[in-house]
């Protein structure tokens, strides 16, 4: 029984000495990085159409006279041909005609944005603690007991 208590005391002192040098770790700052991919595809269509205005002119002339009608787009001449007993006519367009313009623009934007979260340094309070007297007494006692155990083991194996 005495040897068991003796070994238990040595193990307790060994554990006490092992845990005296432990301290908490300072906080670590983890840098976070995020990549954002954006893909935008857009088509811009611009369409321009000019229409011919609708205009109507009616005119009456005496028999065997020439009828002339004109608007902003065309000029018309009509007359009676007495030799062949026919009604003849002519229509001439002016330079203003209907036109249509189509303009298609395709814009493709491909971006990759890397966002890094920059750690903000902050002050860590350094708290200086005074080691109490009982801790120094335990430390001295532990060192003396360990030295005594080492001397005892050395003397036992020497002989």
Q: pLDDT by residue (tens digit) across 33-64?
A: 666 666 666 666 666 666 666 777 777 778 77
Mean pLDDT of 78-84: 87
Strand segments, DSSP code E, in the chain are: 33-50, 67-70, 74-81, 86-93, 99-116
Tell me the pLDDT of the chain averaged across its residues.
Answer: 77
Give pLDDT, residue 141.
95
> Which residue has better confidence, 9 or 140?
140
Token pair for residue 151? 């001397």
**Spatial CB neighbours of 43, under 8 Å, sequence gap ≥ 6:** 104, 105, 106, 107
Local confidence band at 151 (pLDDT 50, 70, 90 cut-offs): very high
Residue owning tokens 């920059």: 118
Taking each helix axis as running N to C, give the angle between helix 2-19 and helix 133-158, from 0 to 180 degrees, rounded to the nearest 10.
130
Give pLDDT, residue 146.
94
Give pLDDT, residue 5.
73
76: nearest Cα among 63, 91, 87: 91
Mean pLDDT of 111-123: 73
Say how far apart CA 113 and CA 33 lie, in whole Å: 11
> Which residue has better confidence, 21 or 127?
127
Given a cut of 80, is residue 149 above it in pLDDT?
A: yes
Give pLDDT, residue 159.
63
Give pLDDT, residue 12.
80
Give pLDDT, residue 150.
93
What's the burial of 142, exposed, middle or buried (CB within 10 Å: 0-12/13-18/19+)? middle
Of the candidate ranges 2-6, 76-80, 139-143, the one whose mean pLDDT is the lowest: 2-6
Given a cut of 90, is residue 144 above it in pLDDT?
A: yes
């Amino acid at each position: 029984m005495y040897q068991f208590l003796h070994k238990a005391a040595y193990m307790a002192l060994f554990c006490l000495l092992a845990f005296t040098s432990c301290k908490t770790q300072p906080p670590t700052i983890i840098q976070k990085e995020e990549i954002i991919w954006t893909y935008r595809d857009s088509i811009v269509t611009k369409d321009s159409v000019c229409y011919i205005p609708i205009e109507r002119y009616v005119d009456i002339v005496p028999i065997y006279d020439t009828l002339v009608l004109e608007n902003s787009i065309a000029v018309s001449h009509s007359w009676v041909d007495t030799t062949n007993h026919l009604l003849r006519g002519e229509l001439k367009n002016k330079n203003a005609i209907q036109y249509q313009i189509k303009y298609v623009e395709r814009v493709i934007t491909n971006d990759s944005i890397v966002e890094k979260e920059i750690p903000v340094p902050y002050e860590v309070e350094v708290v200086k603690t005074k080691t109490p007297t009982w801790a120094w007494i335990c430390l001295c006692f532990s060192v003396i007991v360990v030295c005594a155990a080492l001397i005892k083991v050395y003397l036992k194996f020497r002989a």
